[in-house]
Amino acid sequence: MDLNFATIGLLLRKTIAEPRQAARDLMGLNLGLGPSWQAFALAVVMTVLVGQGLGMLLSSGAPEQTVIATPPGADGSQLNFSLTITPVMGAMILGLLLVFMVFCVHWIGRVFGGQGRFEDSLVVMAWHQFAMVVLQVAMVLLITLIPAMSGLAVTMILVANFILLSLFVTEIHGFSSLPKVFAMIIVSMLVVAFALSLVISIALVAAGVEVPNA
């Protein structure tokens, strides 16, 4: 199978109608680690660019995002500080988290008895990220046309993300039990959440934020 616009369109249709077959087709490409990492990096860059573009479209502002936190001071007062997340920083954080997620899918899947190869996890997770970007763009278009659908659209994206990830992981590791896959994904998400908290802590320390002792 050659990757071109026609093939990508076909894979997108299969991702909606036959997700497991789409995963099999992707693994059947046998891209190897080098091309798989390139596809993964491209998916991360696309995610950041589309996210920044949609953010600017919806807010009509600059592409930078500012995270503001107010931890309590020793005297009960609030210490306001802000951390500006640039597109480059966002790409680095997202890339690290997604790479960590790929390793979680591979290693935790192995612990649960899976037989998937790392390069299969890499290329399928890259495609999963690309498919979610396409769905997010469709969601924004729907919300723009029908604002009242925003809550339903967000819920549909979250459900689609979980279902698609579950079916992809099932195919990567050859699982036959969806409950086992659900348990594996929950464990992976908990590990990623812990990693995210570490990344945020490191970023705050790097920004020079100091929280006084009580």
Q: pLDDT tens digits, residue range 43-92?
A: 888 888 887 777 676 665 544 554 444 545 444 444 454 556 666 777 77
Which pair of structure tokens corresponds to residue 36?
């798989």
Q: Classify residue 78 by its DSSP letter.
A: B
Question: What type of residue is 147?
Answer: P
pLDDT at 177 over 70: yes
**Average pLDDT score, the chain:** 77
SS3 readout for 140-199 = HHHHHHCHHHHHHHHHHHHHHHHHHHHHHHHHHHCCCCHHHHHHHHHHHHHHHHHHHHHH
What's residue 123's pLDDT? Answer: 92
Q: pLDDT tens digits, residue range 76-90?
A: 444 454 556 666 777
Residues in the chain: 214
What's residue 139's pLDDT? Answer: 85
The more confidently predicted of residues 70 and 29 is: 29
pLDDT at 124 over 90: yes
Q: Which of the four pLDDT bands, split at 50, 70 and 90, describes residue 128?
A: very high
Q: pLDDT tens digits, residue range 129-138?
A: 999 888 888 8
What's residue 204's pLDDT? Answer: 64
